[in-house]
Amino acid sequence: MVELLPSILSADFAHLADEVAAAERGGGTVIHVDVMDGHFVPNITLGPPVVKSLRKATSLPLDCHLMIDNPNEYIPAFADAGANWIGVHYETCPHLHRTIELIHNHGMKAGVVLNPATRVELILDILPMLHHVLIMSVNPGFGGQKFIPFSLEKIRKLAQIRKDLGLRFRIEVDGGVAHDTIAQVVQAGADLLVAGNAVFGDGNAERNAQELLAAAKKVAGEAS
């Protein structure tokens, strides 16, 4: 089943609760939270206090994407703030198995995120432990970037691995997912679709979410 994960990175933070509510009315089922530290990626966004406030504003699962160095140090704080899913970058976790176990031990679903130049084969051994794998289809750091076409082959490869191994992890895609790319992303095998600018960019989150989700479900052969 394809799901739309509105990314609050592109939302109006002065009206964040209203923006999230609009995206939820449009069919968003998980709220994607981009956490950036200014070290691993060239931007600084938000941390556990905003997640804690967001938790009060919605009952939807909160998918926290940690684009940060030393994620182990912050996983407990995000759990306490109300995060439901945590995605950590392969590139920042020298002891990835330990990090995944830490996420599980704090009662959250664990995901691994791969930058555009990181091969999916590098996480084969860890796949049975994962709730989701997030393929970055832009270089992380800023919203509104253009989709990187070779990401589609990575999605296809990951979907084939999932089938061959009989696993059930979800395939999430983040970066440049919009009206002109969403069909290709779903056709390649993704089922969790992160969209920020395409949902919130023009101030019509409910309508945009509805249109994106309808387009994705059409390609997936699901009823709207």
Beta strands in the chain (DSSP E): 3-6, 31-36, 62-67, 85-89, 109-114, 132-136, 170-174, 192-195
Sheet order of strands, 170-174 included: 3-6, 192-195, 170-174, 132-136, 109-114, 85-89, 62-67, 31-36
User: What's the pLDDT band for 51 if we cut at 50, 70, 90?
Assistant: very high
65 burial type by CB count under 10 A (0-12 exposed, 13-18 middle, 19+ buried): buried
User: What's the pLDDT band for 164 if we cut at 50, 70, 90?
Assistant: very high
Q: Residue 195 contacts by C-beta under 8 Å, 6 or more apart in sequence?
A: 4, 5, 6, 7, 177, 178, 182, 208, 209, 212
Residue-level pLDDT at 143: 75
> Mean per-residue pLDDT for 7-33?
96
Q: What structural domains does the chain harbor?
A: 3-220 (3.20.20.70)
> Mean per-residue pLDDT for 147-166?
98
Residue-level pLDDT at 142: 78
For 165-184, the pLDDT digits (tens) are 999 999 999 999 999 999 99
Are 100 and 90 in contact by the 8 Å Cβ rule? The answer is: no
Q: What's the rounded Cα separation, in Å, for the pair 69 and 37? A: 7
Q: How does the average pLDDT of the chain come out, rounded? A: 96
Residue-level pLDDT at 224: 64
State the chain's maximal CA–CA distance in angstroms: 46
180 tagged catalytic = no
Catalytic residue among 125, 174, 191, 202: 174
Catalytic residue among 12, 18, 34, 80: 34
- pTM listed for this prediction: 0.96
On the question of pLDDT at 9 being above 70, the answer is yes
For 137-150, the pLDDT digits (tens) are 999 887 778 999 99
